[in-house]
Amino acid sequence: MPETFQEVLAAAVNDLSASGYDSPERVQRWVERIERAAAESLVPEDVMVRRMRQGLQAVYDRYVERGGAIREQGVDRFTLAQVKPRLRLELDRRILAAADLIKLNRREAVSDTLRRFRGWATSIPPGGSRAVDKREEKRDIRKGLAQLPFRERRVAIDQGHKFLSNLSEIIATDGGAIAGTWRSRWRQPGYNFREDHKERDGGVFLVRGSWAQREGLVRPGPAGYTDQVTKPGEDVFCRCKYQWMFNLRDLPADMLTAKGRGALREVRLAIADSDSRDGGGLDEGNARALGAARENDRLDYLDGVASVREVAQGDDDFHSWYDPDEDEIGIKPAFADRPHDERMHMLLHEAGHRGQEVDPAAWEAFERLGLATREAFEEMANVAHRREGARGRDREEEVFAESYARFCLGLDMPAELRDFWRGRV
C-alpha cells in the first residue's frame, strides 16, 4: 500500500480519474488516507515549535542578555535589569502565540488540501475521464501543503519582529521614553513596504501620558501620538521600529512648550557646570572646546556621555580617547596646550568613536560599505595615528571617527565618506 503523501495522492487521482465520482464513500476513503499521509509528511510539530522557541530566545538573548537594548535604545543597565522580568514574560507569551500559529497554519494547509481534493473528485463524471491532466491536478491539490514551509518561515520572521517591537516598547515605557521616531525600511531593496508606513518615516510621535507631558514640558508635533497609529511590527510582516527618545534635548523644538524650553536651558547649564567640574575640573579653555564640540556635533553623539574628564594616564601620543566601558572621554593635561579648534576637532573625533556604540545602524552601514580604505586612513590620519598604524577593525574605527569629526567641521575628506555622513543627517 502506498505510504508517502505523493504516492497516496497519485493513487487517489488515478483511481478517481478511472472510476469517476460514483459514491461519497469512495471519496471519503481517499480523504482519510490523504489526511494521514499529509500529516506524516510534515516536519513534526514539536520540532517546529522548538525551532521557533530557539529563534525567539536568540532575539531575547541579543537584545536583553547581551545588551542590544542598551546600545540601540540608550537605556541604562539599571532600567534594563528592572524590566527584565516583564521582558521574560513577553518571551514566554510570544512563544505560546507562535506555537498556536504553527498549529493553525498546519491545520489550514491540510484542510485546504482535502478541500481541493474533494472539489476535484466530485467533479469527475461516473465512469471516469481521459481528459484529466493528472500532473496539473496533483499540483493544484497539494498547493496549500507545498506552500506551508514558506509560510512557516514567514511566520518565524514576523513573530521575531513583533517580539522585538514589544520588547522595545516595554523598555521604552518603563524607561520613561517621551517620544519615538518612526523608522521604516522602505529604502531596503526587495522590502514590500506599506505606503503609510513610508510616510511615517522620520516622524516624531509623542508618548501620551509620559512624565514630560504630565509636567507640561512637551506637546505633540505634526505626527501626533504613538497611540494614534498602528505600532511597529503590528501589521503582518511589518519591519518598522521606533527610535525612542528619553530626553527633552532629543525632541524637535516645536514639540517643547515654553516651560519645556526653560527646563532644557536649565539642564544644559547643569550639564555644562558638571562637565566643567567633573574629575577635578576642566579648565576654562577645555570647557569652551567641549561646548563648541557639542554645538557642531551633527548627530548628537556627545549627548548623554557619562563623563568628559582630565586623566593623567597613558604613555602614548594621543591627547584624548573614548572608553566605551565607562562611557567617558578622557583627556590628558597636555590636551589643554593645543589650539581651540584642534581640541574641538579631537573631541568630535572621540564623539565619532562613541557613535559606534550609540548609533549601531550607522556603524553597521559603514562596515558593510567598506569605506575604511587604507587610502582614506592615510589621507585623514594625524601623525600619532600614522605612527601607531591601524589595520582591520582598528582602521575602520579610526576612519569612522575621523570622518565624522571632519564632516561636522566641514573639513577636507574623501568624497565617498562625506556622502555617507550626508546620508545620515
- Residue 243 forms beta bridges with which residues? 181
Residue recorded with cell 565619532: 352
- Residue 179 forms beta bridges with which residues? 206, 245
Residue-wise burial string across 31-52, b where 16 or more C-beta atoms lie within 10 A, e elsewhere: bebbbebbeebbeeeeebbeeb
Task: For residue range 34-43, list pLDDT tens digits in order.
Answer: 999 998 888 8
Task: For residue range 74-118, list pLDDT tens digits in order.
Answer: 666 777 787 889 999 999 999 998 889 889 999 999 999 999 999
What percent of the chain is modeled with pLDDT above 90? 34
Residues 64 and 81: their CA atoms lie apart, in Å, by: 9
Q: Which helix (H) or strand (E) holds 310?
A: strand 307-310
pLDDT band per the 50, 70, 90 thresholds, residue 201 = very high
Residues 110 and 17: their CA atoms lie apart, in Å, by: 22
Per mean pLDDT, which range of 14-23, 163-172, 254-263, 379-388 is the poorest? 379-388
The CA-atom distances, in angstroms, between 213 and each of 62, 107, 164, 218 are 32, 48, 26, 5
pLDDT band per the 50, 70, 90 thresholds, residue 331 = confident
Contact between 88 and 176 under an 8 Å Cβ cutoff? The reply is no
DSSP codes joined into one string, 275-289: HHHGGG---HHHHHH
- Residue 181 forms beta bridges with which residues? 204, 243
Selection from 34, 166, 51 nearest residue 111 by Cα: 34
How are beta strands 328-331 and 307-310 bridged, if at all? parallel
Task: For residue range 123-178, list pLDDT tens digits in order.
Answer: 988 888 888 888 898 899 988 888 888 888 888 888 888 888 889 888 888 778 89
At residue 388, the pLDDT reads 53
Whether residue 200 has pLDDT greater than 80: yes
Selection from 418, 395, 285, 304 nearest residue 346 by Cα: 285
Whether residue 30 has pLDDT greater than 90: yes
3-class secondary-structure state, position 315: coil
At residue 339, the pLDDT reads 72
Selection from 346, 301, 302, 307 nearest residue 328 by Cα: 307
At residue 33, the pLDDT reads 92
Of 341 and 55, more confident: 55
At residue 70, the pLDDT reads 72
Domain boundaries, the chain: 5-160, 176-253, 258-424
